[in-house]
Amino acid sequence: MDEYDVAIIGGGPAGSTAATLLARAGRSVIVLERDKFPRFHIGESLLPFSMSTFKRLGLLEKLRAGFVEKFGGEIAEAGGEKAAKFYFKDGFEARTDRSYQVTRAEFDQMMLEHARENGAEVYEETPVSDVAFDENGCELRLNDRSIRAKYVIDASGRNAVIGTKFKLKKSYPHLKKLALFAHFEGVARASGIDATLTRMVRTLDSWFWVIPLKDDRTSIGVVLDATEFKKSKLAPEEFFERALSQQPTMRDRIGNGRRVSPVYSAADFSYRNEKLAGERWLLAGDAAGFIDPVFSSGVFLAVFSGEKAADALDEALTHAARRRRLFARYERAVNHVMDVYLRFVDCWYSGKEFIEVFLAPSAPFQVAPAVNAVLGGNIGNRFAIRWRMEFFYLIVRLQRRWTLCPRLSLKPKSSSPTPSSNAEAERATHAAGLFDSASLRSE
Ligand SMILES: Cc1cc2nc3c(=O)[nH]c(=O)nc-3n(C[C@H](O)[C@H](O)[C@H](O)COP(=O)(O)OP(=O)(O)OC[C@H]3O[C@@H](n4cnc5c(N)ncnc54)[C@H](O)[C@@H]3O)c2cc1C
């Protein structure tokens, strides 16, 4: 039976990141991927804090050549009156001003191919049906054979092979959301770097994304409580079309664009595993956990945990006695990222106050650059960011009791005409917010 240092289940961003780094470190590594790439996947908007890992992986050239650069985002309220743009360059202690908007079929294929080029053995159309552990390592069952490895990284995404086997997966009852999404063509874009922004529209009980991809493709989706969709008894396509038609701000964003893909759906995507490491295994990316797509943190966490898992295993393979400490440190680091986003996401969904504060005139003490940094994937280990984020949460809490920032209905204004062009909408909605450029100067 073949024996490897590390076997990786799943060839998405988490698995490919770990595979490339381990292979480069001279470890024998095998990636077992269930599907044949390229394949459709959701998760198209990347964060700038992944760029250092992409650099370490040697992927910067390939990213530049193949994908749309992304310089920030815009969050608008559905009433059509207020929107705030933020640019990564203005984030607190920003290290880079950009990341990428990626068509995942191509991005994932590029990353997996890169792992192969760097020396990992990669098998597509090779699902892992079970993993058994013993004191020397593990045995992975494939369709026609078994292989052995000293360690396994489960990077099988939401399928979570090990989390499911050991019943570690816990979902968040208050985050039972559903997403419907599709690709469009012909959606008008702003000029300059504003054409690269992820644009979000927040309604009373849902939010929409508009993500510009290459070749005139645009990813558009809506996220809402799963119960609302069930109650409607509509098919996903009908529900999606209706949701878009009910929001003038979204209709305006889409303009003459037309849908060119089926409507896809995903549900119950927020969960976490109780343990992220065992004696012989580590969980990475979505297989470890995922906290709602609202802040586009999924691929960031996948790449972050893939990198940390590779580093922990590389060291454990040389110094077996350090394994427990290394794995505990890995678990803490990945849980910390999920904790940061869980708090941010909870704040976003618990009432209108997050968006009211976010779209309010400039906050003091450089809170805006700190929020901007977290939106870019700076998980706030630095005190300077942590206290500013605490201040932001405090304002949001106070806003629940007192009106510190203007209240928003988050409902489309039926009396106000829908701006007929993107440029008109731009003028109508670009009111100064927390991210007013005046508040974005660094210290
Ligand atoms: C609605 C929605 C919108 C999102 N938007 C964003 C976004 O804008 N930006 C962002 O960063 N993230 C986003 N995400 C999250 C993002 O999709 C994931 O976090 C990311 O893909 C995780 O990468 P991964 O490598 O962990 O898992 P995946 O990319 O899912 O890869 C896992 C791989 O494992 C394979 N696999 C599964 N089971 C097995 C098995 N038994 N054997 C072998 N292989 C197996 C699968 O085929 C798959 O290729 C979004 C998620 C949702 C639900």
Centre of ligand 1 to C-alpha 304, Å, is 14
Q: What is the number of the ligand 1 atom nearest to the C-alpha of 161?
A: 41
Q: Would you state the pLDDT for residue 114? A: 98
Centre of ligand 1 to C-alpha 284, Å, is 11
Centre of ligand 1 to C-alpha 217, Å, is 20
Q: What is the number of the ligand 1 atom nearest to the C-alpha of 198?
A: 8
Q: Would you state the pLDDT for residue 432? A: 44
The CATH code of the domain at 173-269 is 3.30.9.100
Q: Are 305 and 55 in contact (CB under 8 A)?
A: no
Pairing of β 146-154 and β 3-9: parallel
Tell me how long the chain is. Answer: 443
Whole-number Å distance between alpha carbons of 181 and 221: 4
Q: Are 283 and 170 in contact (CB under 8 A)?
A: no
Residue 438 makes CB contacts below 8 A (sequence gap 6+) with 362, 432
Centre of ligand 1 to C-alpha 41, Å, is 7
Q: Identify the bridge partners of residue 217 per DSSP, sorted by sequence position.
A: 185
Amino acid symbol at 61: E
Residue 385 makes CB contacts below 8 A (sequence gap 6+) with 92, 93, 370, 373, 374, 378
Q: For every one of its 443 residues, what pLDDT tens digit does the chain have, with 9 covering 90 and above?
A: 789 999 999 999 999 999 999 999 999 999 999 999 999 999 999 999 999 999 999 999 999 999 999 999 999 999 988 899 999 998 888 889 999 999 999 999 999 999 999 999 999 999 999 999 999 999 999 998 999 999 999 999 999 999 999 999 999 999 999 999 999 999 999 999 999 999 999 999 999 999 999 999 999 999 999 999 999 999 999 999 999 999 999 999 999 999 999 999 999 899 999 999 999 999 999 999 999 999 999 999 999 999 999 999 999 999 999 999 999 999 999 999 999 999 999 999 988 999 999 888 676 667 778 888 888 888 877 888 888 889 999 999 999 999 988 899 999 876 444 444 444 444 444 444 565 533 333 32
Q: Examine domains 3-67+102-171+271-344 and 173-269 and report if their fold is the same.
A: no
Q: Would you state the pLDDT for residue 94? A: 85
pTM: 0.93
Centre of ligand 1 to C-alpha 388, Å, is 31
Name the residue among 19, 10, 11 with its Cα closest to residue 131. Answer: 10
13-24 vs 298-318: helix axis angle to the nearest 10? 30
Q: Among 8, 33, 106, 126, which residue has the most ligand 1 atoms within 8 Å of its CB, making it the best to mutate? A: 33
Q: Would you state the pLDDT for residue 268? A: 87
Whole-number Å distance between alpha carbons of 219 and 43: 10
Domain 3-67+102-171+271-344, CATH 3.65.10.10 — does that match? Answer: no
> Which residues form ligand 1's pocket by a CB distance below 6 Å?
9-15, 32-35, 41-46, 127-128, 155-157, 159, 161, 179, 221, 266, 269, 285-287, 290, 293, 296, 298-300, 302
For residue 420, the SS3 value is coil
Q: Would you state the pLDDT for residue 417? A: 43
Q: Would you state the pLDDT for residue 434? A: 64
Q: Among 34, 124, 308, which residue has the most ligand 1 atoms within 8 Å of its CB, making it the best to mutate? A: 34
Q: Would you state the pLDDT for residue 381? A: 76
Q: Spell out the domain ranges in the chain.
A: 3-67+102-171+271-344, 173-269
Q: Would you state the pLDDT for residue 337? A: 95
Q: What is the number of the ligand 1 atom nearest to the C-alpha of 287?
A: 26
Q: What is the number of the ligand 1 atom nearest to the C-alpha of 47?
A: 11
Q: Would you state the pLDDT for residue 437? A: 39
